[in-house]
Each structure stands twice: as structure tokens, then as C-alpha cells.
């Protein structure tokens, strides 16, 4: 059921699929281009990784490198090295 909801959200434009984003050793997805591009996601956006069938739970910008990372956990919202940009709303 969750997979159907996720696919529907992406197809209706209510969620952004990060399946094409680079994944690092921590399991975070690099979304720097998405957030620094000409049309960054709006406040109401949700994020997911359709291929892995996972919702994104936090997004943060690294204070030193300025890279933006998305995580399937809340860890980026709690990291002192990252500025939290987004947390999944329930």
C-alpha cells in the first residue's frame, strides 16, 4: 500500500523522487543541485526514493561544504554540522 501511495504522490506532483541522486556511504542522497537550482522545492513538497521504496525524513545543508543531503532518517535535523532545511511533516 505504501508503494502505491508513494507512486501516486510522485505522479500527482506532491512528492519528488530522488532515485537519480548520488548516494553516499551514510545512505544520504546528494540533493545540492535540486536545492541550489533555479526552482528549489517549495515548502509543501515531500521527498522519496521510489527505487528503494523509502520516504525522505530530513534534509540538511552541510555548514562547511554547503552540500545539501537528504536522509531516510531524522539524523540531518539533529546534526550539528548541518543546517536543517526540511523535515517530513506527518
pLDDT of residue 1: 55
pLDDT of residue 84: 94
Q: How far apart are CA 37 and CA 54, in angstroms?
A: 24
User: What pTM was estimated for this model as a whole?
Assistant: 0.90
In the chain, the N- to C-terminal Cα span, in Å, equals: 17
pLDDT of residue 2: 64
Number of domains observed in the structure of the chain: 1
pLDDT of residue 21: 96
What is the pLDDT tens value at each position of the chain, 90 positions in all? 567 889 999 999 999 999 999 999 999 999 999 998 888 887 788 999 999 999 999 999 999 999 999 999 999 999 999 999 999 987
Residue range of the domain that includes 9: 2-39+46-87
Amino acid at each position: 500500500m505504501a508503494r502505491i501511495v508513494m507512486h501516486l504522490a510522485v505522479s500527482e506532483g506532491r512528492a519528488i523522487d530522488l532515485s537519480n541522486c548520488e548516494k553516499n556511504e551514510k545512505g544520504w542522497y546528494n540533493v545540492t543541485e535540486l536545492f541550489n537550482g533555479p526552482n528549489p522545492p517549495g515548502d509543501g513538497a515531500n521527498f522519496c526514493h521510489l527505487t528503494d521504496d523509502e520516504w525522505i525524513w530530513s534534509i540538511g545543508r552541510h555548514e562547511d561544504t554547503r552540500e545539501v543531503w537528504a536522509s531516510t532518517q531524522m539524523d540531518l535535523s539533529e546534526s550539528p554540522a548541518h543546517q536543517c532545511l526540511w523535515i517530513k511533516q506527518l
